[in-house]
Amino acid sequence: MHLVIQLPGFPLQALRRWRDDPPDLPLAVTDPVGHRHPVLAVNGAAWRAGVRPGQAAVQALARCSGVVLLSRDVRQEKSAMQALLQAGAMFSPEVEATSAGVVTVGVGRSRERDWEVLGARAVEAMRACLLEARVGVGPNPDLALLASRRARPVLVVTEPSAFLRRIALRDLGPPSGLLAVLEGWGVRTAGQLTALPYAETADRLGPEAARLWELAAGRVERPLRCEVGEVEYREGMDFEHPVETLEPLLFVLRRFLDQLTLRLRATWRVAGVMRLTILVEGGEPVERTFTVPTPSADAGLLFRILHTHLETLRLERGPSGVVLELFPGVAEATQFQLFESALRDPNRFGETMARLLALTGEGRAGVAVVEDSHRPDRWRMEAPAFQRVVGVREAERDMTSGLPLHRFRPPMPVRVVVEGWRPVRVESAAVRGRVVESRGPWRLSGQWWEAGGGWRCEEWEVAMVDGSLWRLRREEGEWYVDGCMESAVVRSGEGMWA
Amino acid sequence: MKAELHMRSAFSFLRGASTPEALVARAGELGLGVVGLTDRDGVYGAPRFLKAAKAAGIRAVTGAELTMEDGVVLPVLVESLTGYRHLCRLITKAKLRGTKAEAPVRWDDLPEFAEGLVVLTGDEEGPVRRALARGDPGGARVAAERLVRVFGEGGVYVEVQRQLRRGEEVWERALRDLAGALRLPLMASSGVSHAVREDRAVMDVFSCARHHTSLDGAGRLLAANEERCLRAPSAMRALFGDMPEALAGTERLAERLEFSLEDPGYEFPAYPVPAGETAESFLRKVTMAGARSRYGHLGRAHHRQLEHELGVIGRLGFSGYFLLVWDIVNFCTAANILVQGRGSAANSVVCYALGITACDPVACRLLFERFLSEGRTSWPDIDLDLPSGERRERVIQEVYRRWGPDGAAMTANVITYRGRSAMREIGKALGFPLDVLDRFSRLFGGGDFPHTLELREQILKAGLPAEHPRLGAAVELYGRMRGLPRHLGQHSGGMIICEGKLSGVVPLERAGMEGRVVAQWDKDDCADLGLVKVDLLGLGMMAVLQDTLEMCQDRGRPVDLASIPKDDGATYEMMQRADTVGVFQIESRAQMATLPRMRPECFYDVVVEVAIIRPGPIQGEMLHPYLERRQGRAVVEYFDERLKPVLERTLGVPLFQEQLLQIAMVMANFSAAEAEELRRALSFNRSPERMAAVCEKLRAGMGANGTDPGVIERVAKAVQSFAVYGFPESHAISFALLAYASCWLKVHRAAEFYCGLLNNQPMGFYAPATLVQDARRHGVRVRPVCVQSSGWRCGVEADGSVRMGYCLLRGMTREEGERLERERGRGEFVSLADFQVRSGLGRGRLRSLAAAGALAGLSRHRREAQWRVEVPRDPDDLFAWAETREEGPLEMMTAGERLGADYETTGLTLGPHPMKLLRPGLAGVTVAAELAGVPAHQRVRAAGMVICRQRPGTAKGIVFISLEDETGTVNAVVYPDVYEKNRLVIAEERFLEIEGAVQTADGVTHLRAWKVRALRTPLPGVLPESHDFR
């Protein structure tokens, strides 16, 4: 016997696991990349309003202006699929990932022979994962699959021929071309197909039709394809009530890590990256990815990284759930060059970085990276990359660069006296006095499309009486000293830019 | 410095952000005296630039930026006519050699075309700056020396641009050194790509479009600042204060560039007249011969008019042009291609005599001066209507053959950014989700009509949150981008021809269609610069008429189009019933709504009907007064009794442009030429000064005639508003001829006419499904496609029924259809197996024929045919044809299944209408045929298949929907409030149920919609296309 667990409206179910929508709110999932963004799945409220899978998104809106269109989330679908596979594995090791939202389980050797009970257990297991399942049980995988489509929520096929007669041909999954021909013939159910002479049908429509005919007659036996795709190392839990202290969260995470690292070690793998998602009630989930400096399957080490982060994490509301994913990486095997020195303990460094980031906030510690922008000195902080070789981009040849600039960060406010449109006097703590020569303005602006109208500034380079050279900037009416030039020597007669 | 010589407009396609007009306007504001347009790889915007510059009193210099084979860009400026010809030929050579996307100029080509051109070293894309950027000063010198070798020492200027970017001084020093070393003059420019600073945002969006990225991802691909805008002379003097020689260089160069595009060196092709004849004498000869043939006896009026016209034509030097058009018409006649001139040419008796037009201007009392008058400088405009499709292409190819690929070209059609395209480009740059942009487009509900939904609201409705930080930027950009050129298309039929090489007058490019080349200018540009244009327009109805006439001839019921009686009662009765589905012009919703009120009784009524349902008269609120007067509900009155002869035939309501001319002539003693000048001054592109001057002249003229001041004001006001929307009477007559002829054929040769319509799809307002339903309502029997009887095209059978042809079968190719026709010609198919073997058709096509019922003669029913065509046949089997006709196991199709199969295979059904099948589930829904009997204002529900959705720009946001059911058509009117609530339902759904109030007036029944909802049907999705928002 075979048992099929199916999650109807799979893309929507996968999304709704983390959503709390009122049941009467019409929902539809659309494919953001398909032509005219077709609807993939709908809930009951949307169905009642006339929205159907296959319609274009605009047509769905035409039918029901209040329908909430959600974009399909492949990641969530994958996560739900993993839960489905794990649920299948509760009943037998023979688990097949049949299609998206469908698993088939060989339960012939199950000790439980009451298939209704077995099916109900599967439904319960999925419900625990916040997924609504329909379960079909039948003598072969295909019949079980067909039964699952008609199950409410469990259907056991005891008389295959009677059951099959009413099954829509489309549900047998024929190739689209063959289905079109058969529908053109008026053949729409398995019963109608098996009423046709087998040999003559096969003679006309070929082996695919012959197989479909046999499938419709319940004669096809196929072995399960028990490979379940890429293994994911993912654990998640929703709390009954939001947790208010750190301990319960750390306790759960430690258990997750113990489980996950055990599975990793069983396959001789190590974790290279960890992703922690903390679900916050009524808010956006907080997601953080940790690069493990030296990939490892040491639960203690991985736990310390998480612990460091969580110690300083401040959430406005208590976490209502947590998801932890480990991504296998390659074990450290680096040969350094002669004069290259390695960190003594990259993991320790990583932990320190995590501590720093936790203290300072995201984007405020790490490695400074210059951004591709016209805005001078525009940069951002990036976490150090431990496991990937970062090619150092060769600095663009800049024929126009003059003397090196010592940049003040942050730039220093300055009072500037202007005559005409040129600065003639500068007064600040760093520089003060008369400007003997100036060059500029250089005008720059950008990000005009952002709220607030972006930025706009004007730069000048000035030489002071004492021969020092400075870069000034005017932005939003205020003047700043951006920095001073090294070797600021003005040689009379040659000009200061020589 | 009062010159800016290096500017790119939006005609550089994504490399410039302002129109030529905007650049000129800004230059005028800033006080510039000379401006040079150097668009990328073309002179696309040069005519518009010239026109705007002339109006602003600024001298326009022509030039272009040339993309070279190594990727560098060379700005060149035209010094003389030779230089201009060289530039055009150089671009043409590259464009015809390259692809649509990439057509660089080769360095080897330059020497041949360098004379008369001045080259600039260019900006950062130029060869010198490129080499300097590589850190190769030697390479920069080599590049400059190469330019000197090609263009000569006086032909190269070292260009210095200051865009206030750090490091410019380094380039400048290098450029200065180079200029000094090679003794080349410097010139200063701003390298303008937008007129004003604010347009930099558009330039950034264009940069994103060019690099297929977003604003967030573009980084330094975007402009560093807004300095590529036009600067005032004082600003340039301040900016280049330390480099006066560059400013002086620009001034000297500007003085030197004397060429003006006003004379692009165009020569009209000479017509090869017989020896001893001039164009004038030969035109006279053929015109008189033609007139005698047309009229038989030439009366005094004819003679007088002919002499007058020939005199004007001769004095204006247009005789050759008339001979040229006559020659094309002669070719059409010889090739049996129906041709008819339209437009104001129909005012000319010469055109009538030459066979170019079909209406007699003498009999119709048409005013020749509307077409041509003394003092006219531009070429007259003669448009020829031809049957669309292959026959028109033959005429176009004949023009190419006669004048050579370098002597003739299609005119361009400039595609501009409109609502959808602008928002798509903006949205992509701003990183809006694609589904939001899709929804934004769908919300237009067809066409880019004036927004009835405020833009901001439309964006929000498309799904962008109101608090989106980039919403403001999107709205701002939208306003700036709309109307900018996007790419160049091809005009549907406008051709320009030239004596010698047209490529020396305007650059030519490859068109999308094989065997065609297109000029870089659109028809208005060509007209402005004096290039002769002949419009060879494809008209579906001309093809229908020609096909219909040929079928009538074949069936022994010949009809001569010219001698169709114009007083046929049955034809007018049909028009009065608005029974005009399929006929020319008067088949639209608006026309059909007017016909029962208009009740045409004579040919001139048809002329008025054609002219009055136009945006102009509707907007000018002329329709209602005319109909009121016609129905006797309002008194016919005139502004002045003297105008009675002018306005009598339109019941005192001015409708035609000829009437405008005559009003001025009668009331203010204008000459014909002055009246035409008045019309032109008041037409679409009117300038306030010119308009004020002519109006003053008109008032003065009327005053001098002793006209009452009140009347003067009324006439002046009417003339001003009416000049915009007026329609040439001659054009209306030409169209009315086709409208009347198509109506007459529908009444008297219905089978042939419907056949012609079905054979020339797509055309007109209605899909074949609607045409077939209409044919059946008119008693024409339509038979399905049948392999024993059908040909590729639909045909009329001996009993007068229409046999559908393979052309209506979806997916069937012409080659397959004609093969079947040939095969059947060799002998009837004796069995389905015989058909299978002899047809050579693939399995898919056989299935389609079986499902469509086309194998009915070879099998008992469609399903049996479907079963049997699947049997594999061996073409080498000698006895394959001898099949046993065993009964298949499949059941016959039900009515619903047949309907589905019909729509799937042909897009129409000869069985019951889909609504008939749905009727049992539509309790309380009124059918179309009963709607007329429902008392006015009564609330009803109607339902049907949508055959037409329209939202005319003149209707203030009202949407007109036509629903077809098994009894006829329901016309619903949806007001904006209801439309806004149901936008997507109306735009998307194929079947609608509309609830509303019946409105009846003068025999016209409408349903004013209150509620619109989708009618959910189990019918197949492959339904015929409706005529949506076109």
Helix axes B672-682, B688-704, angle to 10 degrees: 140
Interface of B with A in 714-773 (CB under 8 A): none
Q: For chain A, what is the mean pLDDT? A: 83
Interface of B with A in 109-148 (CB under 8 A): 132-133, 135
Dist. CA B668–CA B662, nearest whole Å: 10
Helix (H), strand (E) at residue B839: helix B832-839
For residue A327, pLDDT over 60 is answered with: yes
In this structure, how many other beta carbons lie within 10 angstroms of the beta carbon of residue B764? 22
Residues A269, A326: contact at Cβ < 8 Å?
no
Among A398, A445, A451, the residue with its CB nearest the CB of B225 is A445
Q: Do A204 and B867 touch (CB under 8 A)?
A: yes
- Tokens at B53, concatenated: 């510059």
Residue A156 main-chain phi, psi, to 5 deg = -110, 125
Residues B754, B762: contact at Cβ < 8 Å?
no
Which residues on chain A are in Cβ contact (under 8 Å) with B165?
Answer: 442-444
Residues A460, A418: contact at Cβ < 8 Å?
no
Nearest chain A Cα distance for residue B173, angstroms? 11
- The pLDDT of residue A497 is 38
Residue B51 main-chain phi, psi, to 5 deg = -60, -45
Q: Do B872 and A204 touch (CB under 8 A)?
A: yes
In this structure, how many other beta carbons lie within 10 angstroms of the beta carbon of residue A430? 13
Q: Do B164 and A373 touch (CB under 8 A)?
A: no
Nearest chain A Cα distance for residue B164, angstroms? 5
User: Rg of chain A over CA atoms, in angstroms?
Assistant: 33
Which residues on chain A are in Cβ contact (under 8 Å) with B872?
Answer: 203-204
In this structure, how many other beta carbons lie within 10 angstroms of the beta carbon of residue A169? 21
- The pLDDT of residue A339 is 60
Interface of B with A in 217-276 (CB under 8 A): 219-220, 222, 224-227
pLDDT tens digits for range A188-226: 999 999 999 999 999 999 999 999 999 898 888 888 888
* Mean pLDDT by groups of 10 residues along chain B of 1030 residues: 91 96 96 96 96 95 96 96 96 92 93 96 95 91 96 94 90 93 95 96 96 92 95 94 94 94 87 91 95 89 92 90 93 94 86 91 85 77 90 91 84 91 94 84 60 75 83 93 92 86 92 86 89 90 95 92 89 94 90 90 93 76 86 89 90 87 89 80 67 85 89 82 74 91 96 96 89 92 94 94 95 94 91 89 93 92 93 70 72 89 91 88 91 91 90 78 91 89 82 93 87 77 53
Dist. CA A105–CA A349, nearest whole Å: 46
Q: How far, rounded to the nearest angstrom, does the alpha carbon of residue B509 sit from its chain's CA centroid?
A: 19
Residues A296, A302: contact at Cβ < 8 Å?
yes
- The dihedral region occupied by A229, where left means phi > 0, alpha psi between -120 and 50, and beta the remainder, is left
Kindly identify which residue of chain A lies nearest to residue B844, measuring between CA atoms: A181
- pLDDT confidence band for A341 (50 / 70 / 90): low
Q: Do B438 and A448 touch (CB under 8 A)?
A: no
- The pLDDT of residue B593 is 86
- The pLDDT of residue A34 is 67
Residues B890, B866: contact at Cβ < 8 Å?
yes
- pLDDT confidence band for A390 (50 / 70 / 90): very low
* pTM for the predicted model, two decimal places: 0.75
B950 and chain A: CB distance < 8 Å anywhere?
Answer: no
Residues A24, B405: contact at Cβ < 8 Å?
no
Which residues on chain A are in Cβ contact (under 8 Å) with B466?
Answer: none
Dist. CA B87–CA B93, nearest whole Å: 10
List, as one string, the DSSP characters of B175-213.
HHHHHHHHT--EEEE--BSBSSGGGHHHHHHHHHHHHT-
Among B430, B894, B901, the residue with its CB nearest the CB of A449 is B430
Interface test with A, best of B211, B984, B985 (most A CBs within 10 A): B984
Residues B194, B228: contact at Cβ < 8 Å?
yes
- The pLDDT of residue B448 is 44
Dist. CA B420–CA B417, nearest whole Å: 8
B433 and chain A: CB distance < 8 Å anywhere?
Answer: yes
Dist. CA A319–CA A315, nearest whole Å: 8
List, as one string, the DSSP characters of B876-897.
T-TTTT----PPPSSPPPPHHH
Of B579, B679, B76, which Cα lies nearest the Cα of B373?
B679
B166 and chain A: CB distance < 8 Å anywhere?
Answer: yes
Which residues on chain A are in Cβ contact (under 8 Å) with B894?
Answer: 186
Among B133, B872, B890, the residue with its CB nearest the CB of A399 is B133
Dist. CA B30–CA B50, nearest whole Å: 18
Interface of A with B in 386-445 (CB under 8 A): 397-401, 439, 441-445
Residues A62, B443: contact at Cβ < 8 Å?
no
- Name the DSSP letter for residue A332: P
Among A32, A62, A397, the residue with its CB nearest the CB of B985 is A62
Residues B119, B74: contact at Cβ < 8 Å?
yes
Kindly identify which residue of chain B lies nearest to residue A185, measuring between CA atoms: B863
| Residue whose structure tokens are 């936008």 | B983
For residue A332, pLDDT over 90 is answered with: no
Kindly identify which residue of chain B lies nearest to residue A195, measuring between CA atoms: B889
- Tokens at B336, concatenated: 């049996």
Average pLDDT (A448-465) is 91
- Name the DSSP letter for residue B799: T
Interface of A with B in 469-488 (CB under 8 A): none
Which residues are CB-contacts of B550 (< 8 A; sequence separation ≥ 6)?
none
- Name the DSSP letter for residue B927: P
Residues B820, B787: contact at Cβ < 8 Å?
yes
Cis status of the peptide bond prior to A153, with omega within 30 of 0? yes
In this structure, how many other beta carbons lie within 10 angstroms of the beta carbon of residue B468? 16
Average pLDDT (A390-416) is 69
In sequence order, the β-bridge partners of residue A443 are A458
In sequence order, the β-bridge partners of residue B3 are B34
- pLDDT confidence band for A259 (50 / 70 / 90): low
Q: Do A399 and B226 touch (CB under 8 A)?
A: no
For residue A135, pLDDT over 80 is answered with: yes
Give the CA-trace dihedral at B781, B786, B792, B794, to 10 degrees.
0
Interface test with A, best of B161, B845, B870 (most A CBs within 10 A): B870
Which residues on chain B are in Cβ contact (under 8 Å) with A380?
Answer: none
pLDDT tens digits for range A61-94: 878 888 888 888 876 787 778 778 877 877 888 8
Among B224, B226, B1014, the residue with its CB nearest the CB of A63 is B1014
ipTM surpasses 0.85: no
Interface of A with B in 362-381 (CB under 8 A): 371-374
Nearest chain A Cα distance for residue B871, angstroms? 5
- The pLDDT of residue A492 is 36
- pLDDT confidence band for A394 (50 / 70 / 90): very low
- The pLDDT of residue A267 is 58
Q: How far, rounded to the nearest angstrom, does the alpha carbon of residue A416 sit from its chain's CA centroid?
A: 50
Distance set, CA B282 to CA A121, B275, B319, B333, B345 (Å)? 101, 10, 9, 20, 20
For chain B, how long is the longest CA-to-CA vector? 101
Nearest chain B Cα distance for residue A244, angstroms? 33
CA-angle at B396, arms to B819 and B762, nearest 5°: 55
B990 and chain A: CB distance < 8 Å anywhere?
Answer: no
Kindly identify which residue of chain B lies nearest to residue A194, measuring between CA atoms: B889
Residues A78, A325: contact at Cβ < 8 Å?
no
Dist. CA B903–CA B910, nearest whole Å: 10
Give the CA-trace dihedral at B98, B104, B108, B110, to 10 degrees.
120
Residues B32, B61: contact at Cβ < 8 Å?
no
Under DSSP, is residue B806 helix (H, G, I), strand (E, B) or coil? helix
- The pLDDT of residue A393 is 45
Dist. CA A88–CA A99, nearest whole Å: 14
Establish, for the pair of chains A and B, how many residue pairs have beta carbons separated by less than 8 Å.
126
B1018 and chain A: CB distance < 8 Å anywhere?
Answer: no
Of B264, B256, B262, which Cα lies nearest the Cα of B87?
B264
Residue B319 main-chain phi, psi, to 5 deg = -60, -40
Among A186, A197, A397, the residue with its CB nearest the CB of B135 is A397
- The pLDDT of residue B983 is 80
